[in-house]
Amino acid sequence: MEKPRITILYGSQTGNAQDVAERLGREAKQMLLSPAVMPMDAYDVAQLPSERLLLCVASTTGQGDPPDNMKRFWRFMLRKGLSPDSLSAVQFSVFGLGDSNYPKYNVTAKKLFRRLESLGARPLVPLGLGNDQHPAGYEAALDPWALSLWPAARQAAGPLPPGVPPPTIDAASLVQLGEPKYKVTLLPPHCPAPSAAGTAEGAPPPPPPPPPPAQPQGHHLRQPHPDVALPSEQSAQSVHVSSASSPAQTPTQPSTASHEAPSAPLPPAAAEWAEAVAMAASFRRVAAAASGCPPQGPPSSQSSTHAAQDSLIVNTGANQGHTIAYGPWCPYFARMLRNQRITASFHFQDTRHIELDLGDSGLTYEPGDVLAVLPRTPPAAVDALLKRLSLDGSQHVCVEPAEHNAATAAAAAAGQPVVAFGTVRALVQGALDIAGASPRRYFFQVLQNFACTELERERLAYFATAEGRDDLYRYNQKEGRTVLEVLADFKTATPTLEWFLEACPLLAPRLFSISSSLRQHPRQAHLTVAVVNYTTPYKRQKRGLCSSYLAASKPLLHDSSRTTTTTDAGGGEHSELAHQQPARTSSQQHALASLQALQQDGTPSNPEGSGLGPDDVPSAGIHQQQCVNGVVGSSHQGSDASEGGVERREFEQQQEALLGLGQGALASHGCFSGTLQQAGGAAQLSGSSSADFDGSHMYQTTTGPGSQGRVGLKAAGDSVVVAGSAPTKEGMHASKVAQPGNDVEHVAVWVERGALRMPPPHVPLILIGPGTGVAPFRAMLEERQAQAQATSTSGTAGCTQGAPNNSASPAPCTLFFGCRSRAADFYYGQQWHELQDQGVLLPPPDGLVVAFSRDQPSKVYVTHKLREHAACVWSLISKNGASVFVSGSAQQMPANVVSALEDVAQEQGGMGKEEASKFVRQLELTGRFCVEAWS
């Protein structure tokens, strides 16, 4: 029979609202309805007046904001020209997800419910509100709300056909399994290639595509989509990279040129990861279509810049004549350049400074944007899951929706059949979150049908009911149990692959604020990542999937010499991250061009064609080098030092060099030990050094007494090598730079629009970022630094401090940073002081204000410092028109900052409490107070 349609729309930031919507979709099938489940922004709002049954699930993010994937829908709903009876044919209800700790608790759902009513829609049941603060979470309100919803929805859908019994509506019936929504077909080893039009129903399924060709450095993973032209079906899941060294252009239309350049092989681990990400992109289209949602892909190519209505930044890069739009359907594989711990070794928190090479991708970003990172499940976890479910990881499979619907029909008509091909290992590795997220209640509901012992069946069935909700929360969510851990506890429950795909959480990208300015670090993106590591209530150690993956990844550049230990005035030691100045002189550009020429043909030459010898290139023009020396012992040889005896001083030196080549970088790292000879007050050194390029190649060199610092180029097999020596305070050292090995990590990324937008350069900034919340502010300050450098270069005069700056010179900024102690976690401390010296930050005491919460008996936080510096803060806001930016944990910090600013307005502005509250609210409404917070 033809079932009445019910449209279920969700606005979800973290996946909870999506999970609720999918649950309602499953229950709708039990009610003999035909559900279509999709994000609000994927829905054609022109169809809204013709809907009969509508359910909306909406979470509230940030400081009362709608989720990113419902912002366009919400803007449309707020149009003033909509008729008050435009939705009179629609019956609806709304369920909201929020946190009662916030003053704008569930404000998105409340506004949506009222707006639908104001447009004439009729509620089926009252508004439902889930609260994260409830001991059982939002499901405490969802369960009774759903039980009241379905009788009303079933009645509104109209009478059932004769002979069809009405569905049973109770808690037990709603947790019964229906049919799986995926069809999984095992493929034979050899079968014909797939047709671009798909396969007919009942025909043998097509085989998987050939393994993707792989590329060094940056990699483009491309998936078929109507808006992005592909050369052929066979290459739809291939990995590509541009060989051009110039920045990629952004055409207004995708190119249809074919890919002809041969592909160089990826490192094996990266190639396997690329295959998994390709499979995941295809599977996400299948998952969307199976829920009745049009499969998502890249937005129209005309939206290649920051679009006001989109959170996703559609960056396009020219790749062998093709236009590639990056996103979850097509990430860019960025080589990891650097992975540096920036907290002291004794500190409990491991925080990383990570630098990624964007190569020739054409990816661009602005300060305040975020980088989406696909976490990589450890291979050992994938192996464990395959073994647990008795699956062959090398088996090729075809996955498609089990039922045909409007979404699958539309995709087939467009020549884009919704089907995923690949190995089981690639599917598990790329698409499923088996070692990070805790499974939802539905996972236990599915498992109970496959348990082989009565004890396990009873326990799983109990967890799947409303009565077992609290115990499930304590066992599962509060303990952070993963899918693998649950399967280990319920050893006899072995679901089929179809059901496992439906119940297992999908692998979601993690979003990190970009902590660099593209103007200061061309073709790079920096991240500041705190590794998640905590103890559960039952004393189980848990680590974050994505942060642990990034922290454990091997970079191109070794990190030993990037951290130097300095001693502050109080005698305490703290770690600093050395950073490079990006500006290059003409001689440096000449040297880089010479090396690029050498890399192309192996012949040392400069752009003019004359020979380039080993002594002709200044070391500063080729590479920037960091060294750390440590004397490990000394001895004296000879009768008397005053008579020319030799004092032997052995020392170890950790060294590395970075060489920028446009497309990437070359590097070396290693140790040096030598003998220092004292002769008449002069220091001479002879010694040797060794470095590890890729785990297998070593070198040794010796520098003679009295040598001068030199560097040169030469070819060594398939590598470009820089050989050189340079003075140190201990004497001389030698260094070489060679191409990296094959085990450097390639991270799947794309750029998304962040919540923070920098104002024009003449607007002062008040930046409040404790901990890793400082990441976007490092990007903003580096951007202001670049603006100041550009102004200085053009000869523009600077502004007068304390006066409104309406010239081209950027206004100074104030940074409020908070951490535990100067010695443990003063992130980027050296860089902040340099920015202050350069005038990017106001001079002391107001430009750099740090709250070291544990360096004194009483705890001090950034909000205390805001009140201490109230005069400066008020002057910048009230007289100079400063914008205030806040970034950090969503728990209490944003509300505490608001309270501190209200106190500043009362103390310095002479306002009353209510007036001060309105003043801060007005800053927010005018875009001068912006918050980026995460839970």
Q: Over the stretch 494-549, which tens digit does the pLDDT of each residue have? A: 999 999 999 999 999 999 999 999 999 999 999 999 999 999 999 999 999 999 99
pLDDT of residue 311: 52
The answer, yes or no, to whether residue 922 has pLDDT greater than 60, is yes
Q: Report whether pLDDT(254) > 70.
A: no
Which of 257-261, 573-577, 905-909 has maximum average pLDDT? 905-909
Element (H, E) at 323: strand 322-325
Round to whole Å and give the CA distance between 780 and 703: 44
- Segment 485-490 shows an average pLDDT of 98
Averaged pLDDT, 303-310: 34
**Maximum mean pLDDT: which of 227-231, 555-559, 681-685:** 555-559
pLDDT of amino acid 395:
95
Residue 434 reports pLDDT greater than 90 = yes
Distance CA 481, CA 439 (A): 8
- CA-to-CA distance for 330 and 228, rounded, in angstroms? 11
CB atoms within 10 A of CB 179: 10
Most confident of 140-154, 191-205, 563-577, 668-682: 140-154
For residues 284 and 225, is the Cβ–Cβ distance under 8 A?
no
Q: Among positive and negative, which fits the CA dihedral 641, 646, 652, 658? A: positive
Q: In the predicted model, what is the mean pLDDT of the chain?
A: 75
Cα(first)–Cα(last) distance of the chain, in Å? Answer: 46
Cis amide bond preceding 180, omega within 30: no
Q: What is residue 4's predicted lDDT score, i.e. its pLDDT?
A: 93
pLDDT exceeding 70 applies to what percent of the chain? 67
In the predicted structure, residue 613 carries a pLDDT above the cut 60: no
Domains of the chain, by residue range, sit at: 5-174, 182-191+205-431, 586-739, 755-934
Per the CB < 8 A criterion, the answer to whether 728 and 627 are in contact is yes
* Phi-psi sector, 413: left (phi>0), alpha (psi -120 to 50), beta: alpha
* Cα 767 to Cα 209: distance, rounded to the nearest angstrom: 50
Q: Give me the pLDDT at residue 63, please.
A: 66
What average pLDDT does range 440-467 have in this prediction?
93
What is the pLDDT at residue 389?
A: 97
Q: Which amino acid is at 622?
A: I
Is pLDDT above 60 for 667? Answer: no
Q: Give residue 933's pLDDT band: very low, low, confident or very high (50, 70, 90).
A: confident
Mean pLDDT of 751-775: 94
For residue 237, the model assigns a pLDDT of 30
387 pLDDT higher than 60 = yes
Give Cβ neighbours of residue 549 (< 8 Å, ≥ 6 apart): 375, 376, 378
More confident residue, 727 or 497: 497
Q: Is the per-residue pLDDT at 740 higher than 50?
A: no
pLDDT for 857 equals 87
CA angle 759, 765, 770 (to 5 degrees): 120
Question: b/e for 357-382, b at 16 or more Cβ within 10 A?
Answer: bbbbbbbbbbbbbbbbbbbbbbeebb
> What's the pLDDT at 655?
41
Q: Which CATH superfamily is domain 5-174 in?
A: Flavodoxin domain (3.40.50.360)
State yes or no: pLDDT of 8 exceeds 90.
yes
> CB within 8 A of 682, min separation 6: which ones?
none
What average pLDDT does range 728-753 have in this prediction? 62
- Given a cut of 80, whether residue 424 has pLDDT beyond it is yes
* 65-79, 558-572, 610-624, range with the lowest pLDDT: 610-624
User: Could you tell me if 121 and 91 are in contact, meaning their C-beta atoms sit under 8 angstroms apart?
Assistant: yes
pLDDT band for position 638 (50/70/90)? Answer: very low
Minimum mean pLDDT range among 65-69, 195-199, 520-524, 838-842 = 195-199
Q: Average the pLDDT over 586-614 and give the result.
A: 37
849: pLDDT strictly greater than 60: yes
Q: Return the closest-CA partner of residue 9 out of 68, 63, 69.
A: 69
Average pLDDT of the residues in 380-408: 93
Predicted pLDDT of residue 792:
77
pLDDT at 404 over 90: no
Amino acid of residue 661: L
Range scoring the smallest mean pLDDT among 275-284, 570-579, 745-754 = 570-579
Question: What is residue 191's predicted lDDT score, i.e. its pLDDT?
Answer: 55
pLDDT tens digits, 78-116: 998 899 999 999 999 999 999 887 778 999 999 999 999
Helices (H), 700-821: 775-794
Query: What's the pLDDT band for 55 if we cut at 50, 70, 90?
Result: very high
235-249, 315-329, 558-572: range with highest mean pLDDT:
315-329
Give the predicted TM-score (pTM) of the model: 0.74
Q: Mind listing the pLDDT tens digit for each residue in 878-918?
A: 999 999 999 988 777 888 999 999 999 999 999 999 999 99
At 704 the pLDDT is 39
What dotted CATH number matches 755-934?
Answer: 3.40.50.80
pLDDT at 436: 95
pLDDT at 624 over 90: no
Q: Which amino acid is at 875?
A: S
Mean pLDDT of the region 266-293: 87
Is the pLDDT at 24 greater than 70, yes or no? yes
